[in-house]
Amino acid sequence: MFIIIIMKQKIRTMFILRMICILSLLLLVCYLNKSKKTSMYSVTNDIYLDNSKIHGTGVFAGKYYNKGDVIVPSLFPHNKSKEQLYHPISKQKFQDYILNYGRYFNHCSTNYNTYIYSDDYIIFKLIATKDIPKGTEITANYDDTNKSFPFIASSKKDYSKC
């Protein structure tokens, strides 16, 4: 009987020590997560949404991109019918086809860092025009894009000139 009581006390002590360790680890994780900057919304490990200095919400690089890297392999992945996109389309169709976070790529007239490429007007890739450091906002020149792909709107008069 005495052995059983001692065993129960050891088990209880081990359980308490384990709980203290687990709670300590949880507190450490919470502290570390609070101290590091977190994005507003992580899209992938490579891209995230956050507050933009240009306008509202923007898309940011979650990793370093070299000039020529494909950042987004398909900007319009929801074009299931494989419709060729060139001529202007309805806003609703555009919204239906574009990536969920695609509408957050902000316009930049001079310091943009991407362009859109398509050789078939079905798959549109977003390509880095220069090296893009991690944490940098990913931008496009809407006016240049509109010249090549008229279904994508050009910038408006009140858009920032960055």
Question: With 60 as the cut, is the pLDDT of residue 85 above it?
Answer: yes
pTM: predicted TM-score of the whole model, two decimal places: 0.71
Other Cβ atoms closer than 10 A to 81 = 8
Question: pLDDT category, 57, cuts 50, 70, 90?
Answer: very high
Question: Hey, CA dihedral for 91, 92, 95, 98, is it positive or negative?
Answer: negative
Q: Which residue has the tokens 């007007």?
A: 121
41-148 fold: Beta-clip-like (2.170.270)
Q: Within 10 A of 15 (CB to CB), how many other CB atoms are there? A: 10
The confidence band for 29, taking pLDDT boundaries of 50, 70 and 90, is: very low
| Domain spans, the chain | 1-36, 41-148
pLDDT of residue 140 exceeding 90, the answer is: yes
Q: Cα-Cα-Cα-Cα dihedral of 29, 32, 38, 42, to 10°?
A: -30
- The helix (H) or strand (E) run that includes residue 125 is strand 125-128
CA distance 118 to 83: 13
What is the spatial distance between Cα 46 and Cα 149, in angstroms, rounded to a whole number?
Answer: 26
User: Given this model, what pLDDT does residue 7 score?
Assistant: 57
